[in-house]
């Protein structure tokens, strides 16, 4: 493959009921840059520029089973070409032809949900996504749902009560006109444009697994991307240039979640939101942990495959998958190979992926009747924050004795790791206070974490033992209660 700069290509998406066409958009240009600088849409705000504050939130729409599915995403870390062929809404696109406000906007006005106003467009768009996905379908918006869907939007001056009030008030306002049929027609027209897969294109977005593997073999130096929730930071904060990009999110085979008798296979292009929903379907106790995995706009853009491939030592997905015994399937034109997730990493952000390979699937065993599993996250902020420590555990107990133990840990080493020594200390032991005390000491001594801005090494070691004890308490059936991640007592799932 030549090292000469690859050619740009047109970007087309639907906005305000019309097709927007930009003739030559660089591969590493973000959606925020396109909206603010190329289309002069200043209703999309640039805040943190790293997907944390939500000021840049927009809604994208794609066709699923003949209907539009709406997702609120961060424009600042989303590559512009990722919305090629999709519909995009900003806070400037919601008012009616007569200037009347959309219920997402009107409710904020009536509930006094804005002060300085900088975060308001992002909140409006998260509310709009909520409105389209729930109110339009006749489903009520509860306080808990509003808190969940607004988890990726930060406000420093208004306070959240009036914003949550606005979320629940939207359904009481007149229903605005909507031309979903027209948008679907425009999206169908966009499908007629050929998606270039030539070697000299800067941004390649294959539709099939064969196309992806062929392109990867032809250009192993192209940057693989999925939701770009981390790669976007390389561009915005690291000022890196990505001359050639290979996007896996349109590959049909990798967008599927497939169930088999003994495991579920999650494609590498499945969003974090959908992947965690699938995991929580089999293990409902993971739902609370999943809701703390970043904010909803990040979960609706990023992928579980990207989280694993990225290999951050503080990534929350890997400890859980390690504890559940997940395997990875790597593919190339040469064939495929499979390995336990924890063997994939060779060092800090380095792994066994060959230059011509891609991560294709994550295979997660289904739970057994005698399995006890939990995942815990400790962070400075409850929502939308990076872990200081993450601990996931899965035990099989028979007659009060540990038959099998699997423990995944994040935030204590250069990679997500398995607590093999602690597992060995537990296997075959009675699941009682004595074996717990031994396991606590083993777990605290098994790793040598570093001290950083999130936590000291000593704190991390102490917390590991405390989380293991929390897990033990959750298996004791004390009046049907267990400790939640926040430290308060709550009903056990």
pLDDT in tens, 268-282: 999 999 999 999 999
Contact 107, 167 (CB under 8 A): yes
Q: What is the pLDDT of residues 423-465, one digit of tens each?
A: 999 999 999 999 999 999 999 999 999 898 889 999 999 999 9
Question: Which has the minimum average pLDDT: 197-206, 344-353, 476-485?
Answer: 476-485
Sequence-distant (≥ 6) Cβ neighbours of residue 129 within 8 angstroms: 59, 70, 71, 72, 149
User: Top-level CATH class of 375-491?
Assistant: alpha beta
Q: What is the pLDDT of residues 240-293, one digit of tens each?
A: 999 999 999 999 999 999 999 999 999 999 999 999 999 999 999 999 999 999
Under the banding of pLDDT at 50, 70 and 90, the label for residue 406 is: very high
Say whether pLDDT at 61 is over 80. yes
- Residue 396, pLDDT score: 95
Q: Class assignment of domain 9-188? A: alpha beta
According to CATH, the topology of domain 203-365 is 3.30.465
Q: Phi and psi of 328, rounded to 5°?
A: -105, 145
Average pLDDT over residues 344-365: 96
H or E segment and range at residue 304 = helix 304-310
Residue 149's Cβ-count burial label (10 Å; 0-12, 13-18, 19+) is buried
Q: What is the pTM of this model?
A: 0.92
Q: How far apart are CA 309 and CA 215, in angstroms?
A: 18
Residue 369 neighbours by CB distance under 10 Å: 5
Express each pLDDT in 1-32 by its tens digit. Answer: 444 444 568 999 999 999 999 999 999 999 99
- Where in the chain are the domains? 9-188, 203-365, 375-491
């Amino acid at each position: 493959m030549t090292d000469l700069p690859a050619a740009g290509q047109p970007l087309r998406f639907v906005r305000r009921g019309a097709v927007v066409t930009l003739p030559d958009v660089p591969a590493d240009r973000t959606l925020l840059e396109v909206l603010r600088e190329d289309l002069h849409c200043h209703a999309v705000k640039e805040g943190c520029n790293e997907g944390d504050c939500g000021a840049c939130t927009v809604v994208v729409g794609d066709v699923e089973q003949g209907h539009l599915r709406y997702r609120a995403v961060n424009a600042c870390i989303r590559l512009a070409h990722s919305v090629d062929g999709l519909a995009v809404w900003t806070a400037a696109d919601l008012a009616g032809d007569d200037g009347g406000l959309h219920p997402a906007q009107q409710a904020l006005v009536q509930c006094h949900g804005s002060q300085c106003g900088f975060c308001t467009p992002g909140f409006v768009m998260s509310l709009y996504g909520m409105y389209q996905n729930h109110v339009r379908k006749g489903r009520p918006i509860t306080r808990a749902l509003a808190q969940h869907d607004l988890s990726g939007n930060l406000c420093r001056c208004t306070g959240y009560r009036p914003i949550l009030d606005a979320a629940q008030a939207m359904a009481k306002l007149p229903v605005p006109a909507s031309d979903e049929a027209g948008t679907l027609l425009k999206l169908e027209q966009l499908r007629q444009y050929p998606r270039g897969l030539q070697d000299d294109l800067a941004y390649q977005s294959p539709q099939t697994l064969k196309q992806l593997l062929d392109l990867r073999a032809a250009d192993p130096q192209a940057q693989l991307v999925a939701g770009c929730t981390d790669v976007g930071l390389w561009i915005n904060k690291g000022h890196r240039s990505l001359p050639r990009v290979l996007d896996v999110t349109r590959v049909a085979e990798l967008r599927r979640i497939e169930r088999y008798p003994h495991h579920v296979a999650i494609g590498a292009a499945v969003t974090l939101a959908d992947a965690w929903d699938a995991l929580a379907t089999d293990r409902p106790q993971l739902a609370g942990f999943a809701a703390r995995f970043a904010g909803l706009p990040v979960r609706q853009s990023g992928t579980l495959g990207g989280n694993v491939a990225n290999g951050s030592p503080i990534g929350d997905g890997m400890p859980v998958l390690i504890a559940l015994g997940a395997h990875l399937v790597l593919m190339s034109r040469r064939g495929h190979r499979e390995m336990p997730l924890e063997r994939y990493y060779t060092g800090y952000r380095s792994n066994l992926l060959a230059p011509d390979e891609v991560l294709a699937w994550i295979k997660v065993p289904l739970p057994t009747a005698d399995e006890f599993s939990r995942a815990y996250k400790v962070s400075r902020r409850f929502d939308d924050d990076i872990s200081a420590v993450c601990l996931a555990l899965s035990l099989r107990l028979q007659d009060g004795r540990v038959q099998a133990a699997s423990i995944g840990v994040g935030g204590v080493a250069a990679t997500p790791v398995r607590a093999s020594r602690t597992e060995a200390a537990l296997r075959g032991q009675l699941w009682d206070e004595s074996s717990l005390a031994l396991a606590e000491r083993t777990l605290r001594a098994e790793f040598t974490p570093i001290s950083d801005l999130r936590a000291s090494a000593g704190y991390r070691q102490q917390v590991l033992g405390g989380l293991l004890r929390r897990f033990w308490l959750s298996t004791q059936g004390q009046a049907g209660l267990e400790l939640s991640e926040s430290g308060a007592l709550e009903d056990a799932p």
